[in-house]
Structure 1
Amino acid sequence: MNSQPNFLREPHDPKDPSPWRALYLDQSLPLAEECKRAWLEDVSSRSRQFLLPLVRPIARLTIVALQILKIVIPKRFTSSALLHRLLEWNMRTWLSPNANLLIFRHFHLGSEILDFIARNTRGVTVTTNPLKPRRLTEVRDHLYLKHDINLFNFVIALNEQLRERGLELAPIDELDFSGITDGPLPIEPMPARWSNFIDLQTAIELYTPFYQLLLTDNDFWRASNSLQLDETIGLYVARLLGTAWTPALINNRHPLVPLSTMQAGFRLVLHGLATEMQHALLVQYKRAQLQVLTARSS
């Protein structure tokens, strides 16, 4: 994999400016450098330009066909173990290194955000189940399914205790950022063979029908509905930070209104970016708090 993406290596042409270079240089949104480079290189690839428009309509038609099929034989083909073995093989064989990196980053960052909320919600004790895979073989351990289950279990456990004790999420004087990683994540290098060319968005569209086929209806609908908890988690973080603007980073909204699974692939991309921006924001706050504490002690 090249050390720099094409849009950074090629000289700037004022008569034909690169949109990817502009988005990379823009700093209006909080986003880790590693994520921004990987994401923009991935979305500027030929795979996304030419393959995604072909894959997306076929994948969505397949979702409709499978939904009809599962009315007749609802649990005949379900197997989470088979699904995750297929996902691991496809990630190893076909996905670009950037796509795999972004997927693994998502598991790490999502776990760290839930940990931050648990650490800083006073008066409750919520045990988290962090998912921080380092290598592709860990996908086989029902990684994707556990990610969705963890999120719902966390929301249930947190709010049961808040309701029972008459408490609310609120800012505190000194937040605990010890679970937020400021720097590289412990993820092993991903395969970079000739066949590893499929971008993240195309891969998500391809995988969604397999999700629907090999998961039970409950698991598939839960996975789809979990995307709308972005707003919920964003509000939790905003209340702990004492700010009102962080939910503006989120596009998956209104968790009380379930959406069609037809757009699950696109919404999953928004979910990934929301997680990246929420985590980058927490890193900014962590650095700012560290500077204040250092100034006090000096």
Structure 2
Amino acid sequence: MLHAFGDHDPADPDPWAALAMDRSLPFDPEAKAALLRDQRSPSRQFLLPFVRPLARTTIVLAQIFKSVFPRFPHAPRFLHWMIAKGMKHFLTPDANRLILRHFHLGSQVLRFIADNTTPGFRPTLEPMQPATIDDVRDNLFLKHDLNIFNFLIQLNHELDRRGGEVGKVERVDFNAIDPDAVQIEDMPKGRLNKIDLQTAIELYTPAYAFWLTDRDFWRAANSLQLDETIGLYCARITGEEKHLAMITNAHPMVPESTLKAGFRLVLHGLATEVLHGFLCELKAKQAAQDAAVLSA
């Protein structure tokens, strides 16, 4: 991957090249390359520093407004139409792919947990396999937030009914973890598709705060701290805990300020990529062990 960042100069090493070559994180190579290209873009370097303080100021104003009108306006369809339009016309192809990919990975991880804690039971959740930007218009972001809480409630209700718990599984079921199932169409590459992922998220977060109810925004912001919960479930199932070191959205019972929701959302995406990559590694390791037993 080093060639993508130019030749190496020991007197002036490229930080992005070092991150590209680093193998400490279990990360899909194409997704990692997309994230690094997006992070080193001019948009993130020069536009984000101006956008972030303005976006956070707007969140404060939206929250003041919502303290008086907590349920007005409530226009999730308009919000997602606006997000989809922005993605289609302004976001980089890498940013768009990473956004759509995130829904696929999150869905696979939740199914993985269900398969290994409550076999035969599948929580009732909204489908999360967007292939195009237009799929976002079906309230995709809002449904994603609802899925996480509904999953935890339904899963634990079923565990209580069975008298079970989340614990180490003798043979882990990895059928839900399938990177080849992530099918996304080509993304727009117009002249204006230059906005990076972080800048876009900072811009979208105030819109989320204004066009949804106060309860919807609060729930969305605090769903990010469930990274720790999902990570712990996977650690108990597999008996492996290395991925937990990458979880920075933690302590769900002590919520963070909604002002940092944009940055925390980027970290949420990173944590999901790392967790999914880690599960892919464990799946490959189990398959190799099975093959060795068969050939013995």
TM-score bin, normalised by smaller chain: over 0.9
* Distance (whole Å) between structure 2 residues aligned to residue 124 and residue 221 of structure 1: 33
Larger CA deviation: 101-110 vs 183-192: 183-192
Query: Within the alignment, does 1:146 sit opposite 2:174 as a pair?
Result: no
Whether the aligned pair in 1 keeps the contact of 2:117 and 2:167 (CA below 8 Å) is yes
Whether the aligned pair in 2 keeps the contact of 1:79 and 1:214 (CA below 8 Å) is yes
> What is the identity, as a one-letter code, of the residue corresponding to 1:296?
V
* Distance (whole Å) between structure 2 residues aligned to residue 148 and residue 122 of structure 1: 22
Whether the aligned pair in 1 keeps the contact of 2:5 and 2:16 (CA below 8 Å) is no
Aligned to 1:107: 103
Aligned to 1:169: 166
Task: State the Cα deviation string for residues 31-54 of structure 1 (Å, max 9, x = none).
Answer: 110111011100100000000000
> What is the identity, as a one-letter code, of the residue corresponding to 1:55?
V
* Distance (whole Å) between structure 2 residues aligned to residue 116 and residue 128 of structure 1: 14
Which runs of 5 or more structure 1 residues have no equivalent in the other structure? none
| Residues 62 and 34 (structure 1), Cα distance of their counterparts in 2 relative to 1, 3 Å cut | same
Aligned to 2:270: 273
* Distance (whole Å) between structure 1 residues aligned to residue 141 and residue 280 of structure 2: 25
Q: What is the SS of the residue equivalent to 1:101?
A: helix
Aligned to 2:237: 240
Whether the aligned pair in 1 keeps the contact of 2:56 and 2:259 (CA below 8 Å) is yes
> What is the identity, as a one-letter code, of the residue corresponding to 2:49?
P
Query: Within the alignment, does 1:19 sit opposite 2:21 as a pair?
Result: no
* Distance (whole Å) between structure 1 residues aligned to residue 40 and residue 57 of structure 2: 26
Aligned to 1:225: 222
Query: Within the alignment, does 1:60 sit opposite 2:88 as a pair?
Result: no
TM-score, normalising length: structure 1: 0.95
Larger CA deviation: 39-48 vs 127-136: 127-136
- 1:180 is displaced (CA, Å) by 0.9
* Distance (whole Å) between structure 2 residues aligned to residue 216 and residue 201 of structure 1: 24
Aligned to 1:261: 258
- 1:165 is displaced (CA, Å) by 2.8
Whether the aligned pair in 1 keeps the contact of 2:118 and 2:158 (CA below 8 Å) is no
- 1:128 is displaced (CA, Å) by 4.7
Task: State the Cα deviation string for residues 240-264 of structure 1 (Å, max 9, x = none).
Answer: 0012333212010001001110000
Aligned to 1:190: 187
- 1:225 is displaced (CA, Å) by 0.6
TM-score, normalising length: structure 2: 0.95
Query: Within the alignment, does 1:73 sit opposite 2:69 as a pair?
Result: yes
Task: State the Cα deviation string for residues 80-132 of structure 1 (Å, max 9, x = none).
Answer: 00000000000001000010011011000000000100111146723253301
Equivalent of residue 202 in structure 2, options 180, 201, 205: 205
Question: What is the aligned residue count?
Answer: 294
* Distance (whole Å) between structure 2 residues aligned to residue 275 and residue 125 of structure 1: 23
Q: RMSD of the TM alignment (CA)? A: 1.5
* Distance (whole Å) between structure 2 residues aligned to residue 263 and residue 224 of structure 1: 9
| Residues 122 and 83 (structure 1), Cα distance of their counterparts in 2 relative to 1, 3 Å cut | closer
- 1:227 is displaced (CA, Å) by 0.2
Whether the aligned pair in 1 keeps the contact of 2:118 and 2:159 (CA below 8 Å) is no
* Distance (whole Å) between structure 1 residues aligned to residue 250 and residue 259 of structure 2: 16
Counting aligned pairs with the same residue, the percent is 53
Query: Within the alignment, does 1:127 sit opposite 2:120 as a pair?
Result: no
Q: What is the SS of the residue equivalent to 2:179?
A: coil
> What is the identity, as a one-letter code, of the residue corresponding to 1:244?
E
| Residues 11 and 183 (structure 1), Cα distance of their counterparts in 2 relative to 1, 3 Å cut | farther
Aligned to 1:10: 6
Whether the aligned pair in 2 keeps the contact of 1:229 and 1:255 (CA below 8 Å) is yes
Which runs of 5 or more structure 2 residues have no equivalent in the other structure? none
Whether the aligned pair in 2 keeps the contact of 1:59 and 1:206 (CA below 8 Å) is yes
